[in-house]
Amino acid sequence: MCKYLIHYFSGTGNTYHMVKTIESQLRSMGFEVDLLNIEKDKDVNLNDYELHIFCFPVYGFGTPSIMLKYISKIKSSNECKAVVLCTSAGAEGQSLSHVKRILDKKGFKVFFTDMVVYTYNFTQILNPQSKEVEERAFKDAEAAIIEITKRIVNNEESFKKINIIALTLSWVIFIMFINLGRRILGKTFIADDACINCGKCEKACPAKVISMHNGKPKWSSNCESCQRCINTCPKKSIQLSIVKLAIFIISELAPILIIIDINNYMYHLPVIINIVLYCAMFVISTVIASILISLMERLHIFKKVFNISYTKRYRRNIAKGFNIK
């Protein structure tokens, strides 16, 4: 009888729901199944299992950095079979093909990849869908997962396809997101006056980027952008700061304006030079913006300004049964 190990990371519970559904289905078929939460459980002998299932959400059209780091450190010594599954609000980007390639190099034999659609929980930017929409999405997702589990048990080889244009575009977006986007977004979080200094966000953060300062959480620049903190705060005090976001947007637009001026009034530079110049200026301006925000946060006069947000009335969304302790 095949023994399964499900390796998973879940930010707000959608992937966890998928994992528990797969576990339930496999156990009902008589299979032995263990779950490995990559945030906590690391001491597992991978060679004790014949089949490995890797599950994760899609962030920025790619795989979360925490999952990539975990996969980069594991290795199969007996060519175990593997499956790669992701959850997304509609597009897997390059995540499945990326993880498959890494696992293949690690000695796994990946024979199945697929994506399951759930509702989005990107509360920092978008208001989560209604409870009714969420319930329908979970019901549809469960039906899809049951069918996927049957195909896995039957050892059906299947790889989710993506056209070359979409793949290339998703790689560009993902590289920008994982290197800068998620870090910038993490710095735009604030805790408003409703914060009770409970420290729940600090304890729940999978990337360990939240620390408490003067009774308020503060985010470092290595945010995973998993949205767990904003969706699980018991007082809904965590918000997106419009002012912080505006500072970063200005810092990203400024290099474009400078390059336009250089080309219009000084030199007509080759395209490749403009691209390299912009990338360099973009990184520098982003660092400057981050330092500026850190300095402003130390001054009490900027507190109310930073607290200006449009996410206060947003619904918070965490999957039912998801344990973040």
pLDDT reported for residue 288: 92
Tens-digit pLDDT profile for residues 230-244:
999 999 999 999 999
pLDDT reported for residue 113: 98
Check: CB of residue 149 under 8 Å from CB of residue 26. yes
How many other C-beta atoms lie within 10 A of the C-beta of residue 1?
Answer: 7
Q: The tokens of 247 are what? A: 């500072």
Residues of the chain with pLDDT under 50: none
DSSP 258: H
Q: Tell the residue number behind the tokens 């976001």, with chain if given.
A: 245
Tens-digit pLDDT profile for residues 151-183:
999 999 999 988 999 999 999 999 999 998 999
pLDDT reported for residue 182: 93
Element containing residue 4 per DSSP (H, E): strand 3-8
Going by their DSSP bridges, the two strands 216-219 and 210-213 should be labelled as: antiparallel
Dihedral of alpha carbons 104, 110, 112, 116, sign: negative
Q: Which runs of E-coded beta strand occur in 10-127?
A: 32-37, 51-57, 81-88, 109-117
Check: CB of residue 19 under 8 Å from CB of residue 325. no
pLDDT reported for residue 78: 75
Q: The tokens of 145 are what? A: 């997962």
First to last CA, the chain: 33
Cα angle 191, 192, 195 (rounded to 5 degrees) comes to 75
pLDDT reported for residue 279: 85
Going by their DSSP bridges, the two strands 81-88 and 51-57 should be labelled as: parallel
pLDDT reported for residue 44: 82
pTM of the model: 0.91
Distance in angstroms (rounded) separating the CA atoms of residues 283 and 291: 12
**Could you give the 3-state DSSP secondary structure of residue 213?**
strand
DSSP 39: T
Tens-digit pLDDT profile for residues 80-90:
899 999 999 98
Q: Which runs of E-coded beta strand occur in 22-143?
A: 32-37, 51-57, 81-88, 109-117
Check: CB of residue 124 under 8 Å from CB of residue 310. no
How many other C-beta atoms lie within 10 A of the C-beta of residue 242?
Answer: 17
DSSP 319: -
Domains defined along the chain, listed by start: 3-163 (3.40.50.360), 177-306 (3.30.70.20)
